[in-house]
A = this chain, B = another copy of it.
């Protein structure tokens, strides 16, 4: 059920004192091979954190030997000193593992604009290197949490009994706020023991991320630190069909994305917005994202109010192909807006449960896409006004 499920990986998570809470805050993931293949995607935010700048270079040759991650500090907007600290973290990790610093991928998450306490961090890395084990995945998943209330892990195949293709995939994720377009803070580590070259890993990762994490939008805010990295050890000896691998990886990413949105800060509803009969998949995605970012829509759902007018007001801000008088909107299966006007009674919509489905019918084509989001609640305001992140 974790990143150490696939063969060839060891991990650890320790408490280094970066978090005021005293919780674990440094994680280490090591690929013991025989392959050290990797691919990664990063935030598109132009204000990128030091570890993002570093790790982009590390993965550019398709090889990553280890990933070192910390919570309790994002190391973003920290200038040359911040970059030197990321570099130093990679060097110390490399020395401890006997690998090259140029193959050590670094991720950080937490408050922006503060330097990391390097003494504590490096002592933690040293302790983590001493604790590495093939059962260490869950401890690593714990150590990357910030405002997450639970750790997030997933595996393929879903259970060890499931007939598989001879390889497995594991994953861990963190992220609660700042989940947004082009990713979130949101750190995700994926591991597999499949035999795949870096180019195929990269193609599979981009395909999986495009329809999972990239369509998860909790609060429209884009982080400086978002990273998803995929490591392949080849330890299974199995060489999967690329399409089958991409499909398996996509399923696992959707699982993790669903865990992220369910644990989004303060959320009381998990909302799937599916746009159908769009002229293109891009149109469907644009429409879903516009609704997912409407604070008025999100507060209405918090109030169990099937306010389809706010859905249409958001749809109307987009440049997607549609005619206003042909729009249909359903919530939890009730078509409350028909042909751009009043449909079935709002009173038929029950929003008391956790899961909400919104279907927007553009009547303009055959494409569709789903965006996952959550409601805007008092608890979100409380967490983000009280917590400096």
What is the copy number of this chain in the assembly? 2
Partner of A48 from the list B45, B82, B316, B382 (CB cut-off 8 Å) is B316
Q: Which B residues are CB-close (under 8 A) to A377?
A: 381
Q: Is the CB of B220 within 8 A of A295?
A: yes
Q: Across the interface, do B47 and A296 meet the contact criterion of CB distance under 8 Å?
A: no
**B385 A299 Cβ-Cβ under 8 A:** yes
B300 touching A384, Cβ below 8 Å: yes
- The stretch from A1-9, A72-80, A241-249 touching chain B is A72-80
Number of chain A residues whose Cβ lies closer than 8 Å to a Cβ of chain B: 65
**Contacts known (A79-B339, A313-B45); A220 close to B381, Cβ less than 8 A:** no
Q: Is the CB of B384 within 8 A of A309?
A: no
In chain A, residues 279-318, which have Cβ atoms closer than 8 Å to a Cβ of chain B? 293-296, 299-300, 302-303, 305, 307-310, 312-318
Is A223 among interface residues, defined by CB-CB distance under 8 A?
Answer: yes
From known contacts A313-B112, A324-B48, infer whether A221 and B341 are also in contact, taking CB-CB under 8 Å. Answer: no
- B residues near A385, Cβ cutoff 8 Å: 299-300, 302-303, 305
Could you tell me the distance between the alpha carbons of A111 and B112 in the complex, rounded to whole angstroms?
A: 40
Question: CA–CA, A178 to B317, complex, Å?
Answer: 12
Are A77 and B380 touching (Cβ within 8 A)? no
A386 CB within 8 Å of chain B? yes
How far apart are A39's CB and chain B's nearest CB, in angstroms? 23
Contact check, A299 vs B381: say whether CB atoms are below 8 A apart. Answer: yes
A165 contacts the other chain (CB 8 A): no
Please name all residues of chain B whose beta carbon is closer than 8 Å to the beta carbon of A313 when the two chains form the complex. 45, 47, 76, 112, 178, 221-224
Whether A337 is near chain B, meaning CB under 8 Å from some CB there, is yes
Asked if A115 is at the interface of the complex by the 8 Å CB criterion, the answer is: yes
Q: How far is the CB of A71 from chain B (nearest CB, A)?
A: 15
Per-residue B-contact encoding for A212-223, CB less than 8 Å = 1, 0 else: 000000011111
Which residues from chain B contact A114 at a C-beta distance below 8 Å?
342
Give the residue among A293, A314, A385 with the most B Cβ atoms within 10 A: A385
Residues from chain B with Cβ under 8 Å of A223 in the complex: 313
Q: Are B384 and A378 in contact (CB under 8 A)?
A: no
- For residue A23, CB closer than 8 A to chain B, the reply is no
User: Cβ of A162 < 8 Å from any Cβ of B?
Assistant: no
Identify the A interface with B (CB < 8 A): 44-48, 74, 76-79, 81-82, 111-115, 177-178, 219-224, 293-296, 299-300, 302-303, 305, 307-310, 312-318, 322, 324-325, 327, 337, 339-342, 376-378, 380-382, 384-386, 388-389
What are the 7 closest A-B residue pairs judged by CB atoms, nearest first?
A112-B309, A303-B385, A47-B316, A79-B341, A299-B384, A45-B316, A113-B309
Other A-B pairs, 11, CB within 8 Å; known A77-B337, A111-B309, A220-B295: A47-B316, A77-B309, A79-B339, A113-B337, A219-B296, A220-B293, A221-B294, A222-B317, A299-B381, A307-B388, A307-B389
| 8 A-B pairs in the complex with CB atoms less than 8 angstroms apart | A45-B317, A78-B341, A112-B312, A113-B309, A115-B342, A177-B296, A299-B381, A309-B389
